[in-house]
Amino acid sequence: MADMKLKKEDFEVVGKDLKSSEEIIRKSLTYWQDAWMRLKANRVALFALIIIIIMLGMAVFAPMMTEYSYDQQMYDRISQTPNSENWFGTDELGRDLFARVWQGARTSLFVAFVATIINVSIGVIYGGISGYFGGKTDIVMMRIIEIIYSIPRLLWVILLLVVMKPGIKPIIIAIAITGWGGMARVVRGQVLQLKQMEFVLAAKTLGADTTRILLKHLIPNTMGPIIINLTFQVPTAVFTEAFLSYLGLGIPAPAASWGSLAQSGTKMILLYPHMLLFPAAMISIFMLAFNLLGDGLRDALDPRLRA
């Protein structure tokens, strides 16, 4: 098999080259860079992300794009269908629907994000503590969640409205009270699993205290599931807000939210379907986009799929 073209010099001994053998060829990717690469490859999730960014942008800037304000009544333009002046038409009181829908987006999204942030903060800390200490602490803390969960969300709002004025506050509080339990359960499950891992034991042998183990080791490794859970909480909160406003337990007039707009649109559904169509479409598109993004994130962040 000897190749005739080979020369004696080719067989000069050069020996080991350990440096090149220990070299890592693959590009260094952090967990988040890697997840982003996976998410980018998922077109549906990426499209959903773009939709969400556009909707957030519109909620911030749209009210500045139109000359009409959300509570300005124009008696000469009552119940108009969409046209070049009023892009989404007007309602039965002559208010510009384009301005109202995006003003409503502000309210709805504000409620959703604030409630979600509260849920995440309480849920992560509560679930982390419950899972980390385990045993009796865990049993007591989990029972508390079950008790809170046994009271329906609607009942919480009605009870809150007894002591508070209707508006954004009772809705946020109601969503927060009944929403953090899910996050707490997710985090607890993860922590229960992670605290047995050898890297946590290693930190303990190094003398790390509880705070350090929770903040440096357990929580960062739970970030994937936390974010996935979060992306599913935001649309749930939007929907809850819409649902409560639709029942008349939400934002009072003249303020607008997607739910209250849909509610007033329903009254006119036979005559002017556009009054319901726009807010309802917003709710649907936003929820769908967040759910699709959540699915994409789950695939991107799931450590089991990591090569």
Which residues sit at the interface with another protein, rule CB under 8 A?
1-2, 6-31, 34, 37-38, 41, 197-199, 201-208, 212, 216-217, 220-221, 223, 303, 306-307
Question: Does residue 57 sit in helix, strand or coil?
Answer: helix
CB-CB contact of 86 with 80 (8 Å):
yes
CB of 1 to another protein, least distance (A): 5
* Closer residue to another protein in complex, CB, 15/64: 15
Q: Using CA of residue 91, residue 97, residue 103, residue 109, what is the dihedral sign? A: positive
Reading phi first (left if > 0) and then psi (alpha if -120 to 50, else beta), residue 17 is in beta
* Closer residue to another protein in complex, CB, 7/165: 7
Contact residues for 119 (Cβ-Cβ < 8 A; gap 6+): 175, 176, 179, 180, 182, 183, 233
CB of 19 to another protein, least distance (A): 8
* Closer residue to another protein in complex, CB, 54/215: 215
CB of 132 to another protein, least distance (A): 15
* Closer residue to another protein in complex, CB, 1/147: 1
**What value does the CA radius of gyration of the chain take, rounded to a whole number of Å?**
27
Q: Whose CA is closest to 122, among 31, 275, 233?
A: 233
| Cβ neighbour number for residue 93 with a 10 Å cutoff | 14
* Closer residue to another protein in complex, CB, 6/253: 6
CB of 131 to another protein, least distance (A): 17
* Closer residue to another protein in complex, CB, 220/273: 220
* Closer residue to another protein in complex, CB, 24/271: 24
CB of 231 to another protein, least distance (A): 20
- Amino acid identity, position 21: S
CB of 225 to another protein, least distance (A): 13
Question: CA-to-CA distance for 51 and 42, rounded, in angstroms?
Answer: 14
Phi, psi for residue 96 in degrees, rounded to 5: -70, 120
Tokens (6 digits) for 9: 């010099």
CB-CB contact of 299 with 58 (8 Å):
no
